[in-house]
Amino acid sequence: MAALALALAAPVLSPHDPLKQNLGNALARPGAAHWLGTDNVGRDVLSRVVWGTRISLVAGFVSVALALLSGCVLGLVAGYCGGRIDGLVMRAMDAVLSFPPLVLALALGAVLGAGLTGVLIALAVVYTPTFARLVRGQVLAITARDYVDAARALGAPGWRIAWRHVLPNATAPIVVQASLSVAFAILAEASLSFLGLGIQPPAASWGSMINAGRGYLQQAPWIVFGPGAALFVTVVGLNFVGDAVRDALDPRMREQRKGAPLPGRST
């Protein structure tokens, strides 16, 4: 919530212009004027961390939203159509999953070019198979239910059944997966920016700030630790949110909270 507030209120909360250089005040220690110090060209680290929140959250939420959308469409089509289409879509998803996520994002980032758009597309591609598999599994389970048979018997077209009956009933696990994926998407964006393939300087991104600061680790470690702490706290926070969403939406977790032990689960 704090990260979201920072992102929304960045123009108000940011004490200085995040891009304004002041070479006379470079590598200044944290103090009253600059709470988190300044970087190698005299920019205020705190202001850049605040503005960086925006980019990180946009990257996390938008890439997961894109993956969610494409994964839902592919999963629905595969699960509902079945047969060859199902086989083709799922083998394609297996192929995407055959690449280590960061290596795939790196390769896509290389061909799409550095910048926010490239990162968003690369991360969306990386996370699409997770959602496609999940939605397909849900569709297969839901299409076997009686109310879907009833809708078919009433003559409802396939797309309408998928949209009105199947998808709403598959929402809970999708929301849980999405909430857990945002934290990892933020980490992935920071990793790509750290490697120089994400957000390009002088724009403030936590990953690129940490990369820029690593050359000054001895003289000015605050350049790394400010955005590093923001990234770590945000990811921990989003993990807690993801766990809370799962606890709220997963009936097994609800049962556990009420105290009824579940067979074969003790955590």
Partner 1 sequence: MAQVIVRRLLATIPVLLLVTAGVFTLLHLTPGDPIDAMMAESVDATVKETLRKELGLDRPIPVQYVAWMGRVLRGDLGRSIRNGEPVIENVGRRIRPSLQLALMAMTISLAIAFPVGIMSAVRHNRPVDRVGTTFALFGICMPNFLLALLLIFLFGVTLRWLPISGYTDPLEDPIAGLRSLVLPAVTLGLALAAVVTRTLRSSLLEALAEDYVRTARAKGLSEGRVVRGHVLKNALIPVVTVLGLQLGTLIGGAVITEYVFALPGVGRLVVDAVFARDYPLVQGVVLLIAVGFIVSNLLVDVLYGFIDPRIRY
For binding to partner 1 (CB under 8 A), which residues are involved? 91-92, 94-96, 98-104, 106-113, 183, 187, 190-191, 194-197, 207, 210-211, 214, 217-218, 221, 224, 228, 231-232, 235-236, 239, 264-267
26/195 with CB nearer partner 1:
195
Minimum CB distance to partner 1 smaller for 106 or for 156: 106
Q: Give the shortest CB-140-to-partner 1 separation in angstroms.
A: 19
Least distance (Å) from partner 1 to the CB of residue 231? 6
Give least dist CB 60 to partner 1, A. Answer: 13
Closer to partner 1 by Cβ: residue 32 or 111: 111
Q: How far is the CB of 32 from partner 1 (least distance, A)?
A: 25
Q: Which is nearer to partner 1, 72 or 186 (CB)?
A: 186
CB-nearer residue toward partner 1: 61 or 152:
61
Residue 265 CB, nearest distance to partner 1 (Å)? 6
| HEC-encoded secondary structure of the chain | CHHHHHHHCHHHHCCCCCCCCCHHHCCCCCCCCCCCCECCCCCEHHHHHHHHHHHHHHHHHHHHHHHHHHHHHHHHHHHHHCHHHHHHHHHHHHHHHCCCHHHHHHHHHHHHCCCHHHHHHHHHHHHHHHHHHHHHHHHHHHHCCHHHHHHHHCCCCHHHHHHHHHHHHCHHHHHHHHHHHHHHHHHHHHHHHHHCCCCCCCCCCHHHHHHHHHHHCCCCCHHHHHHHHHHHHHHHHHHHHHHHHHHHHCHHHHHHHHCCCECCECC
State the nearest-atom distance from the C-beta of 57 to partner 1, in Å.
16
What is the rounded CA–CA span in Å between residue 206 and residue 209? Answer: 5
Nearer to partner 1 (CB atom), residue 162 or residue 184: 184
